[in-house]
Amino acid sequence: MSNSYSQYEKDIRGKVILVTGGTGSFGNAVISGLLKFEPKRIIVFSRDEKKQHDMRYLYNSPTLKFVIGDVRDAESINRVMGGVNYVFHAAALKQVPSCEFFPLEAIKTNILGAHNVINAAIQHKVERLVVLSTDKAVYPINAMGLTKALMEKVMIADARKISEPNSGLNEENNGQTTLCGTRYGNVLMTRGSVIPHFIELIKKGEVLTVTDPNMTRFLLPLSESVELVLHAMTNGKNGDIYVKKALATNMETLAQAVCKIFNYDKGYKVVGIRAGEKIHETLISQEEMARAEDEGDYYKIPSESQGLDYQQYYDKGKRSPLEEVVSFTSENTKQLNLEQTTDLLTTLPEIQDALKSNQTDDRK
C-alpha cells in the first residue's frame, strides 16, 4: 500500500473491519495494506474456502479472522456484524458473461446480498459501510450493470431513511451508520479482466483477441481503487458515491502495449463486441454530473433526495443545466497513447512478476 495511504492510519488503528468478498482482488489489496495500520481485527467474509486457506497461510496474521459465509444468507452476514466499525462490501458477481447467462444469480448476490449486508450493518450500528460499484451501473445495458445500479439505489434508499431523524424507520440505528459508495472502471490485473487474459494467450502462444480496436476502457491500478474506497470511508456522507478521475485508452493501444512489454510478435485479431458490452463506459451520467462536486482527484455524487415525502417527487423539482454538462466517460477522459499505456502497465507488480516468470521460462 502506498505511502499516500498513511493519512488513513488514525481511522484504521484499533478498528474492526469486515470485508465481504474478502478473498477477491480488492480484498487482498485492501487487507495487505490495512494490516500495516494495526486494526483490531479484519474479518474476511467469503464463500471460497480454498482462497481463504491460501490467504491464511499467505498473511499468517492473528489480526485476520476468516469466516465462510454468503451475502445471500442474511443470517450468516448478521452473525459476523457485531462489533464491526467499518464494512467494505466487495462481494459480487462481476463477470458480464456470467451475469448475462445467469441474471437471477446476479440479482441474488448483487442486489439482495447487498440488502442483507446493509440491513445487518444498520442493525448493529456499524459506523461506516462502503459499497463497491462499477462504471457498468451507469446507463446499464447488461445484467451485471443493471444489478449493480440497483445495488446503488438500495444503498441510497436506506441512507435516506437513516438520515431522517423522525422517519420512524431508523429506530434501531438512530442515524449512527453512514452508507456510501464508490464506482470505478476496469481495475488493472484483477481476476477475469482483459490484461490477465492477454497474458494467458501469450503463454499459450496464441494471437490476442480484441473486441473492437476503438473500444475505450478506464484504466485504474488496484492500489488506486483501494485508495478511492478509503477516501469514501473517511469522507462520505449518507448516500454519497465517489468516483476517481481515471485515465483511459482504447483496446487496440492496450493490446499493442501488452505485446510491446512482452516482446510478443503474434499481435492481435479483432473478434467483435460481445453481448452486453459497450463501446465506451460511463462513470458519471450527465444527470449526475449536474450535481457532482469536484474534489480534485475525485468526484463526489451526492444523493438526489427530497426526503421521504413522496408527494415532493411529484410537486417539487429544480432547474438543472444539463446542456452545460456532459457525462464522464472513457471516451472523453484523458486518453493514454501507446507509450503512456506501456509505462503505466510496467509499473504494475503483477506485470513485473509475469515478466520475471517469462524470463525464467526462457532460460529453461
Do the beta carbons of residue 16 and residue 40 sit within 8 Å? yes
The residue range of the domain holding 42 is 9-184+222-245+286-316
10 Å CB burial of residue 204 (0-12, 13-18, 19+) is exposed
CA–CA distance, 104 with 98 (Å, rounded to integer): 11
Q: Which residue is catalytic, options 136, 148, 278, 300?
A: 136
Is 231 part of a structural domain of the chain? yes
Phi first, then psi, for residue 195 (nearest 5°) are -70, -45
The CATH number that applies at residue 83 is 3.40.50.720
Is 142 part of a structural domain of the chain? yes
If one counts the domains in the chain, the total is: 1
Residue 176, SS3 per DSSP: coil
- Flag whether pLDDT at 334 surpasses 90: yes
In percent, the amount of the chain with pLDDT more than 90 equals 74
Whether 65 sits among the annotated catalytic residues: the reply is no
pLDDT, position 188 = 85
Give the pLDDT confidence of 136-156 residue by residue, as tens digits: 999 999 999 999 999 999 999
Is 203 part of a structural domain of the chain? no
Is 171 part of a structural domain of the chain? yes
- Flag whether pLDDT at 1 surpasses 50: no
Which of 155, 85, 145 shows the shortest CA–CA distance to 113? 155
Residue 305, SS3 per DSSP: coil
Is 346 part of a structural domain of the chain? no
Mean pLDDT of the chain: 90
Alpha helices in the chain (DSSP H): 9-12, 25-34, 49-59, 74-80, 96-101, 103-106, 114-123, 143-163, 194-204, 222-235, 251-261, 286-289, 310-315, 338-346, 349-363
**Cell numbers at 12, concatenated:** 484504521
CA–CA distance, 67 with 56 (Å, rounded to integer): 11
**Cell numbers at 110, concatenated:** 448483487
pLDDT, position 355 = 86
Is 54 part of a structural domain of the chain? yes
b/e sequence 314-323, b meaning 16+ C-beta within 10 Å: eeeeeeeeee
Is 86 part of a structural domain of the chain? yes
- Flag whether pLDDT at 3 surpasses 60: no
- Flag whether pLDDT at 354 surpasses 70: yes
Give the pLDDT confidence of 34-53 residue by residue, as tens digits: 999 999 999 999 999 999 99
pLDDT, position 173 = 58
Distances from the Cα of 163 to the Cα of 38, 156, 160, 176, 278, angstroms: 31, 10, 5, 9, 36
Is 329 part of a structural domain of the chain? no
